[in-house]
Structure 1
Amino acid sequence: MGKLGCSIDGVLNEAKFSEPLPWIGIYIAAASLACAIAMAADAIHGFRHWKLWFPCKFLAINATSLTIITVAVKLSVDLNTAMPRGEDQLAKLSSTALICTVMGNSMPSLGTMENKEIFTNMIALGILVITVLVNICIQLGTGVIYVFVMEHAIIMFLMLVLLVVLSFSALTVPTIKHYLELKYKKKYEIALKECSKSNETDKTIVEKLKEDLMRYWMMAHTCSPQFVVGRSVTCTASGALCLLSAATLAEAMLRFYLMPGSFRFCKGESDYKWSIKLILLTQAVAVGVGTIAPAMRWFLAINFRCPTRGGKWACRKNYKLEEYWIKRLVEMKECPLNIPISNPHSRRIVHDAKIKFLNLCIGIQAGIVFMSKIIRLISIYSMSVILLCYDHCRDWLMKFTPTKSITNDSGSESLPSSKLDLSRFVLHLEGEDSLVEVMMKDNRDATDYWRQRAKKRQPKHLIELLQLSRPSEGFKGLTEFDSFEVPSLDAEEAPDCWSLSVVTLTSIAAALPNINRSSIKHLMAGVNEGLVYVRHIEDDLDMQGNLIRIRKAADVVWLAFELYHRWLDVDLRKPSLQGKSPKEILKILSDTAKNTFMEFKKSKVDQCLADSPSKWPIKVLAANSMYRISQSILLNYESRNYQMGERLFEAITVMISDILAACLTNLQRFISIKCLTSSIEEREESVRHAVNVLGKTENILKLLHQKALPGLNPDQMAFMDEWRSLHKLNSSLPDTPFSQESDSASRTGSEVYLTID
């Protein structure tokens, strides 16, 4: 009977039920620590990237975070466990304050959600908050919570207000996204016109791209949904409420530790025992760390709204309710209610009830916005003295700071360089006119900063490899590596792919005998750096997705080669160690690839081979590429009579250089498309990635821009088959060297290529 919870006498053994509680306390502390780490990571990310509105990258309102928070606040919903000591009561309060901190911290994450996500996540958050509120009220009534009653009441009120603010702010997110998308399209057209005009100037390709990226970054950053929510008046108010919650917890803790005599606690010990101290410590740290982001958003909103500090505050006049706050509620009010009720009287009652409910919601939304603006105004009045003192101290220090004037060769003072006016590319909502200049100044030099950082990490091995390419011969390696004379293994031929061709050639080069290991490592380093950009180009410019499986085949081949020095299941070092000649090695690779292809063809995958070649299995695509390339090199080997592996290695290296150089001529178009095709939630990160690519490839762009480009339009230049078709066409025209055609065509073709559209 003892094992069932009863003693020998049949008495319920209640003490046994409380034995696991200290370990449950560790579980609660671990969940609280997870919240603290996530909020600290968001704060570090914001400071590191100088995003002082602190986007929610690690802690957002979603199923995972809500589950962790539910565990972390278990003490708040524990109705019947005795909590007699002061630290027990403080732990109850810290659990409640943690919910306020998480809500205030994660408010910008609303901007990243789709409509259904917003609805489900806010419902889940509402259930959690209401449950906590009800349970705390029960504990206050039963006496489980008997001290810090006022602090609990304050934090419960703040929690309820934060829930209402978050819920009604979430209603405006779809409308805000729609407004910003419309504005982005208009600004995008203006940016296109300015970009096309900049192409007519004498600026270098890097300077043109730099200015274009500055425009696109300003548009993408200022319309980022997280940034828009983060700078909204309701987010500013939530930051102030979050600060009050943290201050309430801090006040209670200071009173408890500094004035212990002012409290009378019950005797006894909590069933959580020693774990209570761990819970209190982790939750206090979580509240402290989590308050950084909301506090900074609150402070920056005050700082930005009142740049002069002199009393002429822009927000003093701005009590207007902007349209986007209530537009969705008004649309819902005007839309008919589709319900399966045939009785007109019943339908009228339901419709009238809907209108009254939505009118109430509109009134609540207007009240929330008005209250948020009042909170902002009160915050400005309370902080104005501190900000004014800061300005006076800064001006006073500037008087004693020596300034150096920059002079030119003639000795006269040089004028400051004119900067691109980006104010017209700042996307803002109604009521944010005063923030345009602030947002422009804070983000004008962001792209240049990231570009300079990326410039320090130039792909040196790739640049050295590209210098071996042969632009004067029209990147001849594009036809040498895969001869048109090699018979196909199937009736249909798989399309060529930049990355698969490069990794197959590299595998062949590494298999050749008598090659210096340092030369192979140098080639691998250059190819590895080049594949990063080749993959970017193939992923973004293959709009139809016809080369997806071929790109996967290239990734599989490269992974096996880079880690194990193998091509699929073939050890590339074994033939050279056995003393095989280059010709014999090529024959081995060709036969192995052919056998692999034929085995698949004769097996149960005939249906796969009957489909489009781009849908063949990955091994079949890799084998087909290896067969064609090794056979083509064998033809060149016999015609040119390569007798040494070193000469063949050099020839293959040049082929790889030609292929990479031809592919990387699409870098400018990739950078342009990266800025324009992403969704509103991802657009900011896409532009930033484009800036990073520009910084790393500046020297490559300069190098390739000096070379003659073929007469292909930008869409054709993205695909190897188009280049090879042009080579084949030019080779069939006698007395017309490709280089001459390329030089003449580049005067027109390159102009199309340089246009960002």
Structure 2
Amino acid sequence: MAPSHYYSSTSDCYDILKTLLPKGFSLNTTNYHLIGSSTNITYEAANFLVQLCGKVDGIEAADKYSRPMVWIGLYIAAASLYCTAAMAADFLHGVHNENLWLPCNYFSVNAASITMISVAMKLTLDMTTRMPGIYDQEAKLLSLAFMCTIMANSMPSLASMSSKSLVANVIGLIILVITIIVNLCIEITTGIISHDYTMTYILILTMMLCLLILTISSAITIPTCKKILEFKYQAFKNSTLNNQHPQQNSLDQLRLYVTRYWVMIQTGNPQFVIAINPLSLASNIISIINIFILVACGLLYHYRSLSFGSDYKGSTFAIFATQLTGIAVGNSALFVRFLLLTSISNIVMDFKVEKYWTQKLHEWKEHQILILSDQRSLTEFTLKNFSISMNRLIRNAEKEQHNNFLTLLENPNGYRGVENFDTDQVQPLLSIELSNNWSLPLVTLSCIAISLPNIHKGISNTLFKSVGEGLYYTCLVEESLNSASEYGNIHKAAINLWQEVEDDCKWLANSLKRSAYYGKTPVEILKQFADKAKDIVMDITRNTDDTEQVENFPIKLIAANSMYRIARTILIKHDREPIREEELFKLLYGMIGDIMFACFSNIPQVIKMKCNESVIEKRVASVEVAAKLLGRSTEIIKRLEALDLPNMDPDKMAFIDEWRLHLKQSIP
């Protein structure tokens, strides 16, 4: 009887032999005996039959171990689809944003992408699996061309890396490419690659080696290129853009400011400079040439029937289809880049070696001081294209503007609400005086306003929505300009408190529903808020040290202290005669509008700050944020133009306490 590890066909084969083999027959090459009834079969014939059964066993074992190859093929196809989708995303994103040099936002050379590329290149790295079918041979060849397309497409992404990451990623790419080249040379020698394709492989391998050399050459130029760009950026910024007066914050002036920075940042974008480099142009041409080689190869062998003969079976078609799509998408992007590059003056004919290309090599040898050479001039078309893309960004952002909170800005009250929401007449509950920020007073005032039971619900809801929209801008101002540690906890208190108001209609677990305040006068409502706030502060301070750093204060204590001071301030200023509910709502409404107006006066400063990003790799994204903010705040800036801002130090205008101090000193 056959051993248990045999499959059914092998077992059947040995069962048949059992009836044919003579008694006492044994096979010295095995550790088992096959004994059957007497028969006329010769030992030679018996040996042949045993060997035949052994071959059946070998075929079935090979089939067993080759079954995962189909899934491996699908895995390769999935990795190829990832690379294709990333290149397509960069292509569509660039065209949509009218950046026809197609920056690498989604597909770049890094540890993750190199891993995915390695998986996608499994066919070229496989030196053991036979590839007898035409589809098998052409799929392996196509993988090589796919790799060339990936290298050419991702070259600009090298410029967006730090020097340390650049070295690590380029070394990883070099190892992968050299491994592919060596493996394919071995496959050509061993015959895994059909001799019919040998010349085609040699041509594309030569192209890949040239692409690797171009990639290394570009990587060497990048550190020096960034120093050139940084020098020119600082020189241009200091000589041109910073000559504007700090108070020149009209909408047209801000548009001009952002557009200038956008054009300057785009033309000084390391990715853009590498993309228009002749080295990049050469890599584009090489990748496009590979298409003609593949087409010629396909026409040469088109008369053969397409077949699958490898263990990858039908998954070979999936690999073929995804990588062919990737080649088409990637080279379409390269062709668009090529058209843009040829529109830039003299770039096609001027292939002289620029000094900064070899500057890093000179540094390594002599450690000499950098002498920066001029970058290539850009055509009017390119500059105009950058301006158009900026205007489109601003226009699209204008469509995202909120309209509810603009009603709060319709009746400015001379910023009196900024001064009057708090007063020194309120006895402090803490030994340390807490600073104010913009958001927390807005949230606190809103909590009181929406709790007033006799105010029309529609008006109250409009105020609630308006404050929610306005907090987007106040938080942006605080995150950009109030970055000191003492403001971080106050900002967090405001955000958490507003989330509680939005989600549960509560202030520190106390209901803000109108029904909870029916039958109470405005004074009673204010006293209730003040008393509850005081209780919370006192409860917390009994168990904590209120002399520690503000950034360590519980956010509940910060929120409660704000409510106590604001509610007590209103009560003190209206202690002589009772205030009606409509008057209280109007007072709160005006304070909220005044605080928002004062805070929004800092938006132009935030826009300018976003334009002045210090890290070169982050500048494009930062100026894009500035452009979108300009678009979303267009109506705010128009209203600010109609107001007279106080004559304050621009650096102090970011802080509400500085506003209050200035307004107090300005009282005649």
Report if TM-score (shorter chain) is over 0.5.
Answer: yes
- Is 1:275 the counterpart of 2:319? The answer is no
Q: Does structure 1 conserve the Cα–Cα contact (< 8 Å) formed by 2:98 and 2:389?
A: no
Mapped to 2, the partners of 1:50 and 1:668 lie a distance apart of 26
2:102 matches 1:57: no
User: SS at 2:344's partner residue?
Assistant: helix
1:260 corresponds, among 283, 297, 304, to 304
Please give the TM-score of this superposition, normalised by the length of structure 2: 0.84
Residue 601 of structure 1 corresponds to: 541
Within the candidate set 355, 368, 375, 1:323 is matched to: 355
Mark the CA change 1:107 to 1:517 in structure 2 (over 3 Å): closer, same or farther.
farther
Counterpart Cα distance in 1 of 2:525 and 2:407? 28
The question of whether the paired residues in 1 share the 8 Å contact of 2:342 and 2:348 is answered with no
Instruction: Measure, in 2, the Cα distance between the counterparts of 1:121 and 1:523.
Output: 53
The answer to whether the Cα contact below 8 Å between 1:191 and 1:215 also exists between their aligned partners in 2 is no
* Aligned 8 A contact 2:440 2:562 in 1: yes
1:195 alignment counterpart: 244
Aligned partners of 1:169 and 1:234 also within 8 Å:
yes
Say whether residues 1:162 and 2:194 are aligned partners.
no
Does structure 1 residue 295 correspond to structure 2 residue 343?
Answer: no
Counterpart Cα distance in 1 of 2:519 and 2:144: 75
Q: Which has the larger radius of gyration?
A: 2
Kept after mapping to 2: 8 A contact 1:513/1:582: no
Q: Mapping of 1:522-671 within 5 angstroms?
A: 522-542=462-482, 544-573=484-513, 576=516, 582-583=522-523, 585-603=525-543, 606=545, 609-636=546-573, 638-639=575-576, 641-644=578-581, 646-671=582-607
The one-character-per-residue Cα deviations of 1:151-175 (angstroms, maximum 9, x if unpaired) are 3222222222212211221111111
Structure 2 CA distance for aligned equivalents of residues 570 and 136 of structure 1:
73
Are 2:484 and 1:439 equivalent residues in the alignment?
no
SS in 2 for 1:681: helix
* Counterpart residue number, 2:222: 173
Contact map agreement 2:97 2:389 (CA 8 A) in 1: no
Report what 2:73 is aligned to.
Answer: 25
Q: C-alpha displacement at 1:660, in angstroms? A: 0.4
In the alignment, which residue of structure 2 is the partner of 1:248? Answer: 293
How many angstroms does 1:561 deviate by?
2.6
Q: In the superposition, relative to structure 1, how do residues 144 and 591 fare at CA in structure 2: closer, same or farther (>3 Å)?
A: farther
Q: Stretches of 4+ moved more than 6 A in 1?
A: 1-12
Taking a change above 3 Å as real, the CA distance of residues 443 and 138 of structure 1, as seen in their structure-2 partners, is: same
Task: Determine the structure 2 residue equivalent to 1:705.
Answer: 641
Q: Does 1:234 align with 2:279?
A: yes
Task: Name whichever of 660-669 and 148-157 sits farther off.
Answer: 148-157
User: Offset of 1:549 from its aligned partner?
Assistant: 2.6
AA in 2 matched with 1:666? N
Counterpart-to-counterpart distance in 1, 2:291 and 2:432: 69
Deviation at 1:47, TM superposition (A): 0.6
- Deviation string for 1:508-529 (max 9, x for gaps)? 3233324444323322332233
Structure 2 distance, partners of 1:589, 1:271, is 77
Partner of 2:64 in structure 1? 16
Q: TM-score, normalization: structure 1? A: 0.75
Residues 157 and 615 of structure 1: CA distance in aligned 2, closer, same or farther (over 3 Å): farther
2:405 matches 1:462: yes
CA distance 1:539–1:164, change in 2 (3 Å): same
Deviation at 1:634, TM superposition (A): 4.2
Cα distance, 1:332 vs structure 2: 0.5
The 8 Å contact of residues 198 and 208 in structure 1, kept in 2 or not, is answered as no
Match of 1:219 in 2: 264
Give per-residue Cα distances to partners, 1:71-119, cap 9 Å, x unaligned. 2222221222232222222222222222212211111111211100101
- Percent identity (aligned): 37
Residue 512 of structure 1 contacts residue 576 of structure 1 at CA under 8 Å; is this kept in 2?
Answer: no
**Change in CA separation of 1:600 and 1:255 when aligned onto 2, cut-off 3 Å:** farther
- 1:295 is aligned with what amino acid? F
Note the C-alpha offset of 1:648.
2.8
Distance 1:467 1:64, change over 3 A: same
- What is the rounded CA distance, in whole Å, between the counterparts of 2:547 and 2:7 in structure 1? 68
Contact 2:104 2:157 in 1 (8 A): yes
Could you say which residue in structure 1 is the equivalent of 2:116?
68
Counterpart mapping for 1:511-530 below 5 A: 511-530=451-470
Match of 2:22 in 1: none
The reply to whether residue 152 of structure 1 matches residue 201 of structure 2 is: yes
Structure 2 residue aligned with 1:353 = none
Hey, what's the Cα distance between the residues in 2 that align with 1:45 and 1:190? 34
Question: Residues 482-497 of structure 1: matches in 2 within 5 Å?
Answer: 482-497=422-437
Query: Equivalents in 2 of 1:186, 1:610: separation in Å?
Result: 47
- Whether the 8 Å CA contact 1:503–1:554 is kept in 2: the answer is yes
Supply the distance in 1 between the matched residues of 2:585 and 2:497 (Cα, whole angstroms). Answer: 19
Output the amino acid matched with 1:611: E
User: Residue type of the partner of 1:554?
Assistant: A
Question: Which amino acid in the other structure matches residue 323 of structure 1?
Answer: K
Q: Which deviates more from structure 2 when the two are superposed, residues 571-580 or residues 20-29?
A: 571-580
Q: Distance in 2 between matches of 1:626 and 1:254?
A: 80
Q: Secondary structure at 2:288's aligned position in 1?
A: helix
Distance in 1 (alpha carbons) for counterparts of 2:538 and 2:246: 55
Q: Which residue of 2 aligns with 1:284?
A: 324
Aligned partner of 2:148: which letter? Answer: C
Kindly state the Cα deviation for residue 542 of structure 1 after the two structures are TM-superposed. 2.8
Question: Superposed, which structure 2 residues align to 1:249-398 within 5 Å?
Answer: 249-253=294-298, 258-260=302-304, 269-305=309-345, 316=349, 318-335=350-367
SS in 2 for 1:38: helix
Moved more, 525-534 or 584-593: 584-593
1:682-693 alignment to 2 at 5 Å? 682-693=618-629
Query: 2:255 corresponds to which residue?
Result: 210
- Residue of structure 1 in register with 2:183 after alignment: 135
Matched with 2:421 is 481
Contact 1:495 1:614 in 2 (8 A): no
Alignment of 1:670-749 (within 5 A): 670-730=606-666, 736=668
Q: Does 1:185 align with 2:234?
A: yes
Amino acid at match of 2:359: K
- 2:430 is the counterpart of 1:430: no
What is the aligned partner in structure 2 of residue 398 from structure 1? none
Tell me whether 440-449 or 87-96 shows the greater mean CA deviation: 440-449
Contact kept in structure 1, 2:98 and 2:385, CA below 8 Å: no
Farther off after superposition, 508-517 or 22-31: 508-517
Unaligned runs of 5+ in 1: 306-312, 337-427, 737-757
Aligned-partner Cα distance in 1 for 2:523–2:70: 73
Counterpart Cα distance in 1 of 2:262 and 2:256: 10
* Displacement after TM superposition at 1:661 (Å): 0.2
Structure 2: how far apart are the matches of 1:624 and 1:137? 76
Q: What's 1:748 paired with?
A: none
Asked if structure 2 preserves the Cα contact closer than 8 Å seen for 1:322 and 1:430, the reply is: no
* In structure 1, C-alpha distance between the alignment counterparts of 2:458 and 2:650, rounded to whole Å: 37
Distance in 1, Cα, partners of 2:70 & 2:666: 80
1:570–1:156 distance in 2 versus 1, CA, 3 Å: farther
Aligned counterparts of 2:6 and 2:471: Cα–Cα separation in 1: 65
The structure-2 alpha-carbon separation of the partners of 1:253 and 1:192, relative to structure 1 and needing over 3 Å to count, comes to same
Q: Kindly tell me: are residues 87 and 617 of structure 1, through their superposed partners in 2, closer, same or farther at Cα, counting changes over 3 Å?
A: farther
Given residue 649 of structure 1, which amino acid in structure 2 is its aligned partner?
Answer: F
In structure 2, relative to structure 1, the CA distance for the partners of 1:29 and 1:629 (3 Å cut) is farther
Give the distance between the partners of 2:389 and 2:242, measured in 1 at CA: 23
